[in-house]
Amino acid sequence: MKSRSSSRSHLLAVLLPLAALSIVLLAPGRAKADEPPVIPRPLEIERGDSRLEIARTFLVPAGDAEARAVAMILAHDLEQDGLGSFDVKESPDARTRGAFVLTREKADVALGAEGYTLEVDGWNAVLRATHRPGFFRGTQTVRQLVSVIGETASLPCMTVRDRPRFTWRGMHLDVCRHFFPVEFVKRYIDLLAYHKMNVFHFHLTEDQGWRIEIDGYPRLTEVGAWRSDGKGGRYGGFYTRDQIREIVAYAADRSIMVVPEIELPGHSLAALAAYPEISCTGGPFEVGTEWGVYEDVYCAGNEATFEFLTSVLDEVIPLFPAPFFHIGGDECPKTRWKECERCQKRILAEGLEDEHELQSWFVRRISEHLTRNGKRLIGWDEILEGGLAPGATVMSWRGVVGGIAAARKGHDVVMSPTSHCYFDYRQSDLEDEPGAFAIIDLEKVYSFEPVPIELTADEARHVLGAQGNVWTERIPSRSRVEFMSVPRMSALAEVVWSAPERRNWSDFTRRLLPVLQRLDGRDVAYRVPEPTGLAARTVFTGDSMIVLLEPPLHGALVRFTLDGSEPTDQSPLATDRIEIRGDARLRARTYLPSGRASLVRSALFEKQVPRPAVDPGLVMPGLRYRAFAGSFESVPDVSTAEEDAGGALLRVEIPPSPPEGGFALELEGWVDVPEGGVWTFFLTSDDGSRLEIGGETVVDNDGPHAARERTGAIALSRGLHPLRVLYFQAGGASALKLEWQGPHQPREVVPDDRLVRNR
């Protein structure tokens, strides 16, 4: 798999050895340009040389209720897409010229329940499938390809043979942190259907809200569904049982399975606010108003807890026909259990080792109840801790390690790692980009491979598929859900549907624009990819430099300004070479034919004279470091910190034995530059870091965050230059790495023999 640094072909910076230093940004690849634009890419697709005009009436065999129902939804979808009205009727004559026919006749049974074939020739169009899901998946291909001009509808002549790679192709929606009405949930399901997804993970309970009506426990919605809005009012809502049935039926019509999540034993503060007697302390509690993890959870030593939970499950189970039932199981603090007399008695009575085994016992008890009711338990990968319940399915979110461990034990797995599948994460490093934590851009999602190479073929069969998650702590509106979901959902859809050998990033960018434009008729607030490949700061040393801009998607345009103002639809088009002479601020924005625009990508161009080298005298390999114990939230001023340890390191990295808990580091020495010119540095850290050369900040990667990379450039003469790296660790994972790339040198970790310190 290509690295992110090497696979960006749509706006790739290339230095040219001209009189003026140049940057060339290359256009998307044109591979398979004759293939119709369909996402996810079908198993087999071959295009003919013409188009077929089709009648506005879909034909289905007499008595085939499933084919008729799917055809009715297709007609409705096309009208909602803004393509006018289509009818459905039964007809015994499937060879009518210009007809569009849905039939089981001569269907390819080898394609399975979700597979289909679509044949469009000069006579008519025929969609074949053995089961309703196959019919429905095929109609979504038709939705993406049908063209209407006036009253004339047409399809490209082609032959498609298609089936999905994975059985679990999911999207999640958190309606607890922010509540969304039934009509929007249906709209979200429509987006899943359009992308041939087949699982809707419905996250219904949380610390910040209980969202499903339970007859036996009315206070769950009277109290637990509402929280303070911080302005003297209250915020919330819930779904009635009838509304749940309506959502489930709507999804089923589109061959989508709805998997409910009732969170336990943690993330349960909303339930405890309604029924404090099932907590360890007895409360009182308020529904959560802050994001994060709360210490108060269901009491594992209280039998009333299990009476409550089994009664709740008994009401929820009949509402969801899906074989899977999600119980969460993540982020459950053990603080209250350690202090609770009843929980400690439970540990002794059950012969458990500790509170981790108590959680496992808790989950197994719930799993047994679900099994008796014909359901399979699925939970986040924390359910591995203390032992996995028999038959449990693991949803691996803390990377893929939990999924690997579960598959090796013979348990089914759904891959949903934060590295690729968390769609509440930021999509770029732009200042006005919404979201939090690390950056998961479109190409990052597309690069995901759900089956880890560590698994054997037998173990890999336990990987059911993958899922994208939309947590809504920072997503308060319907339009923001769509902005964060699409087109990352488009990329994930291809990952879980199409075979690896059928996936190609350049070709995906060629097909994406027409697929997105079909959503314009429904006013979906999808995110337009911004021009990429422009560094926030670019340094050059020649008289000038040339920039060539091309759009990130085939068929889009890029407009720009050089005076620092925001580009508009009247700004110059980036259709020719842009000459930069001296310091300048280039701002660029992608525009689609519809007029939709991306966020603005800003690039500062700075002309520099190479910084002179210095002579520090006698030196030896490595950098000096000082370590400081303490709690830090940003790169510290180490001059005021109390040193805890020190020593030498051969490269920029975390020492073998750093202080326990939070700490900071300062690494100092010189970097030996082998060639004069512009040098780009890549600083990766978890948490914050900063790179200084000659006292100038070159890379700023400050603040608490997951592992992320930041870059910067500086013009340096050949020889030694003072180097200083600051770093802090605020808890959790840790990482620190420095790479560089020179005028005629590929990107690499700064070599050990290029870092020196005083003797």
Handedness of CA 20, 21, 27, 32 (dihedral sign): positive
Contact between 748 and 740 (Cβ < 8 Å): yes
* Exposure class string for 682-713: b at 16+ Cβ within 10 A, else e: bbbbbbbbbbbbbeeebbbbbebbbbbbbbbb
Q: What's the CA gap between 220 and 78, in Å, rounded? A: 40
Handedness of CA 185, 190, 195, 197 (dihedral sign): positive
Burial class (CB in 10 A: 0-12, 13-18, 19+), 481: buried
Q: What's the CA gap between 169 and 414, in Å, rounded? A: 9
Backbone angles phi, psi at 561, to 5 degrees: -135, 160
Which residue, among 656, 599, 597, has the nearest Cα to 625 in the 3D structure? 656
Residues near 572 by Cβ (< 8 Å), separated by ≥ 6? 559, 560, 561
Q: What's the CA gap between 667 and 664, in Å, rounded? A: 10
Handedness of CA 687, 693, 694, 698 (dihedral sign): negative
Long-range contacts of 302-311 (CB under 8 A, 24+ apart): 302/277, 302/278, 302/342, 304/277, 304/278, 305/278, 306/365, 308/217, 308/271, 308/275, 308/278, 309/264, 309/366, 310/366, 310/369, 311/216, 311/217
Which residue, among 127, 121, 247, has the nearest Cα to 182 in the 3D structure? 247
Q: What's the CA gap between 45 and 713, in Å, rounded? A: 45
Q: Is 505 helix (H, G, I), strand (E, B) or coil?
A: helix
Q: Is 585 helix (H, G, I), strand (E, B) or coil?
A: strand
What are the catalytic residues?
Answer: 331
Residues near 227 by Cβ (< 8 Å), separated by ≥ 6? 208, 209, 234, 235, 236, 270, 286, 287, 288, 289
What is the 8-class DSSP label of residue 704?
S
| Amino acid in position 282 | G
How many residues in the chain?
A: 759
Cis peptide before 687 (omega within 30 of 0): yes
* CA dihedral angle for residue 177, residue 227, residue 188, residue 258, rounded to 10 degrees: 80
